[in-house]
Amino acid sequence: MKNTYESPFNSRYASSEMQELFSPDMKFKTWRRLWIALAQAEKELGLEITKEQIDELERYKDDINYDVAQIKEKEFRHDVMAHIHAYGEQCPNARGIIHLGATSCYVGDNTDIIIMTEALKLVRKKLVNVISKLSSFALKYKAMPCLGFTHYQPAQLVTVGKRACLWIQDLIIDLSDLDFLITNMMLLGSKGTTGTQASFLSLFDGDHEKVKKLDLLIAEKMGFSSVFPVSGQTYTRKLDSRVMNVLSGIAQSAYKFSNDMRLLQSMKEVEEPFEKSQIGSSAMAYKRNPMRSERISALARYVIVDALNPAITASTQWFERSLDDSANKRISIPEGFLAVDAILNIYMNVADGLVVYPKVIEKHILDELPFMATENILMEAVKRGGDRQELHEKIRLHSMEAAKKVKEEGMKNDLIERIAADNSFGLNIEELMTVLKPENYIGRSSQQVDEFINTHVMPVVEKGGDSDIKVELKV
């Protein structure tokens, strides 16, 4: 047991893949890749940099002498300079050309963009996985009637699968935003201390074309097709805000799902997975708490609030840069990704193991359907010669009495029995039960599920690649 604070994102929530992306090791190895890309591009554009120097840099790109870097950082109080010197000790021949013409944000900001891009791709993979699992659930239960709710009051019937499509549609919108963002991610490139590229213009003796080419060559070597056309010392912090807004959108969708699940589990209609030895309450042994859905709600709330951090930071940057972004950024961005990663891991787990209780759903329908079926009953009675206005008034009175029995006496809804006993309607109980078939009241729910999944969802899932990620929750 550790005696110092450890983030719950590491110990309880986020996956090892996401943690590794935001690890110090990933950051510093990416710094070295960027220094190599800079040297290669400068060599290709004519600076006196040798192949041997670049080979030396390549040899040590993943073998970081952290002990030396730590000593140098205590000495310099500057992390980038510490790592430049540490790299230089391993590569004495290349020492003089490491970081040539660059400023700290060359490695710092470009690395942040590279890591965020990879993290967005991991989020995408998991998001598609959730969509796939929910789609299978929607198709399986596309025709199972259940009560719809407006204002959390019983309303016209829907189906279990149709409701799931509401959850999926939110995620499809999030996926569209995510894809747009990934497609439009661009590097800072090599812009210099205030974004003017003055140092590189000096290195290339005033050759503007080579300076522009340097920017694009570095991006290409790091797997990007473009760079920000203009910048201060940093890339615009609007990008961080934009990234967190997309993550917040995913959190919002997951939050909606988790709230619905918590309500459904309270109604005993649908439950999240419950392990054989899982304990719902330390005091109430019978309880089956929706702890996974509650955790989604909790983490989603964190992400939604966390999105304010880069929004405020983007708003308050001074001119070409100020350093009040750094401390906030190194907390808010990684933790936003770690939280969304955790949310999607739980979402996958829940979506893959949803338990439906048809008998409870049917009971709830039959408790309310008599009220909803009164218009159909009225029409059937009129066909048999009844007076529409007279029968309407009788149904109103019978409905009020039945509702009184339910609400005040806790009795079952006996509206159908009351109508059957009223000779004015000319319908016996068997005929009335035919009118009460739940499948007659679900409209196009089943067809909507097929159309939505086949037209809007399956193309996304099939394009998404690996849609069968296995996750194991830590707690």
pLDDT for residue 385: 85
Structural domain contains residue 427: yes
Residues 6+ apart with CB under 8 A from 379: none
- Angstrom CA distances, 306 to 196, 335, 382, stand at 32, 8, 60
Q: Which residues of the chain have pLDDT under 50?
A: 276-279, 281-287
* Residue 43 maps to a domain: no
Query: Which residues lie across from 158 on neighbouring strands?
Result: 146
Q: Give a yes or no: residue 240 inside a domain.
A: no
Q: List CB contacts of 15: < 8 A, sequence separation 6 or more.
A: 341, 342, 345, 471
Domain annotation covers residue 418: yes
Annotated active-site residue 326? The verdict is no
* Domains: count for the chain: 1
pLDDT at 94: 98
Read off the CATH number of the domain in which 394 is found: 1.10.40.30
Q: For residue 37, tell me if it sits in a domain.
A: no
> Is 234 among the domain residues?
no
Position 435 scores a pLDDT of 83
Per residue in 116-154, pLDDT (tens digit) is: 999 999 999 999 999 999 999 999 999 999 999 999 999
Is 127 within a domain?
no
Residue with tokens 């590279």: 114
Q: Domain span at residue 420?
A: 374-435
- pLDDT of 281 reads 47
Residue 227 inside a domain? The answer is no
Dihedral sign computed on CA atoms, order 303, 305, 306, 311: positive
Alpha helices in 184-237 (DSSP H): 198-203, 208-221
Annotated catalytic, 151?
yes
Q: What per-residue confidence (pLDDT) applies to 415?
A: 84
Tens digit of pLDDT for each residue in 416-426? 888 888 888 88
Q: Which of 11, 176, 281, 315 is catalytic?
A: 281
Extract the runs of DSSP E, i.e. beta strands, from 207-353.
270-271
